[in-house]
Structure 1
Amino acid sequence: MELFNYNGNGMIHLIVGPMFSGKSTELFRLTNRHILASKSVIIVKYEKDNRYDEELASTHDKKTMKAIGALHLKNILDKIKNYDVIGIDEGQFFDDIVEVSEFLANCGKIVIVAALDGDFQRRPFKTIINLYPLCEKIEKLHAVCRSCGGFASFTFRTILNSEIEVIGGEDIYKAVCRVCYLKFKDELNAKQKEMKIYKEMLNKERFTNEILCSTNDNENLDPAMCA
């Protein structure tokens, strides 16, 4: 990407935190301030997240703003580069978030990114970590622990699924504090072990039944047929 029309007003503002911490709400608040200041604003959402509406970015409490969907930011760069302010929701899902955000900021644009900084296993999203040193401003938001009511910094997935990209809301995720995260993790690991043992028992029983059936079938055969 070639640099165009550089000026010193560009910046990257990163908003991170667990799910349900108000990242999208803060993104909406900041972009609305720029709208009041007569700046042109566009919101970009992750195309696969269509839980609420294909043309709206939404918070978990159903606040919405008109948005365009994309799988890759480069695919819509020619459109979004014409705006003063670009808000990007669910930034962790865009593999080109670093390159495009830096490009836009160097072109004098204000880029506001709302993203998870860690996944359900508390491992960092590499794209967001790589964005950190390029930002003028970084906000870490926190949620309320849905178990104890404490200070929640982490996202816990309540279902047994190891895939990183599983889009959902309170049906499969909850914000938790450190203590509750470790407690729920132990409980989920115990459940996973129980399921593994159960599956092994089923497989063993199925194998035993197959052997018995095979033995019975052979016993019922006419010896002449085996000649």
Structure 2
Amino acid sequence: MFIEPNLSGERRGWIEVICGSMFSGKTEELIRRLKRVKFANLKVEIFKPAIDTRYDELNIVSHDTNAIHSTPIDNSQKILLMAQDADVIGIDEAQFFDDGLPDVCDKLAYHGIRVIVAGLDMDFTGKPFGQMPFIMAKADYVTKLHAICVKCGNIANYSYRKIPDDDQVMLGAMDAYEPRCRVCYNEKKEL
């Protein structure tokens, strides 16, 4: 599905993005893809933002508690330093990284590395989040996942914040956020 034919023998890289709302299964899908690559005996390096310590300080952990080892970093340029010899790079919670991440992903792909990025495409206000729109624009493949609206059961692609806080970055899980469809998400604005 994601492998392009390469008749010249040189390794070709590309960027895959997994995006969606909270509880849509982004991290679960990232972990699934990375575990498949490991089964193929390819060299994998996995990164997450150092600020994300919700479930574990080192591992990437999905809401379903599926996990894979990662390296927490505070600067996207460190990925270039640590990605030597890697066949595949995995990056979780990309919306929390600095504005250098899209260029880092581009450089890695240009050098023949498969880059798999997961993150929220919108923040709790429904606006594009962090560097995700820029990475999605450069991506060769984009997978948008959906959650289920907790209010009506329809497809959800918004992350509704249940706690009053205007900061764009606020780490949390079901205690702070719930997935909502477009209609149920917009009900909050009409109240």
Normalising by structure 1, report the TM-score: 0.76
CA shift, 1:103, in A, is 0.7
Identity between Structure 1 and Structure 2 (%)? 39
Helix, strand or coil for the counterpart of 2:159?
Answer: strand
Show the 5 A alignment for 1:30-45. Answer: 30-45=33-48
Show the 5 A alignment for 1:48-67. Answer: 48-67=51-70
After superposition, what is the alpha-carbon deviation per residue over 1:170-194, rounded to whole angstroms, capped at 9, x for unaligned?
Answer: 110011001110113334xxxxxxx
Q: Distance in 2 between matches of 1:156 and 1:105?
A: 34
Give the RMSD, CA atoms, in angstroms.
1.3
**One-letter amino acid of the counterpart of residue 91, structure 1:** A
Is the counterpart of residue 174 in structure 1 residue 178 in structure 2? Answer: yes
Matching residue of 1:125: 129
Is the counterpart of residue 70 in structure 1 residue 73 in structure 2? Answer: yes
Point out the structure with the larger helix share: 1
CA shift, 1:150, in A, is 1.1
Moved segments of 4+, more than 4 Å: none
Point out the structure with the larger strand share: 2
**One-letter amino acid of the counterpart of residue 20, structure 2:** G
- Contact 1:56/1:67 (8 A) holds in 2: yes
List runs of 5+ in structure 2 lacking aligned partners.
1-9
Is the counterpart of residue 10 in structure 1 residue 13 in structure 2? Answer: yes
Helix, strand or coil for the counterpart of 1:44?
Answer: strand
Q: Distance in 2 between matches of 1:129 and 1:76?
A: 20
CA shift, 1:52, in A, is 1.4
Q: Distance in 1 between matches of 2:141 and 2:84?
A: 21
Whose relative contact order is higher, 1 or 2, with alpha carbons under 8 Å and at least 6 apart?
2
- Contact 2:13/2:114 (8 A) holds in 1: yes
CA shift, 1:8, in A, is 4.8
User: Which range moved further: 77-86 or 28-37?
Assistant: 77-86
List runs of 5+ in structure 1 lacking aligned partners.
1-6, 188-227
Number of aligned residue pairs: give it. Answer: 181
Q: Distance in 2 between matches of 1:73 and 1:141?
A: 24
User: Which range moved further: 18-27 or 145-154?
Assistant: 145-154
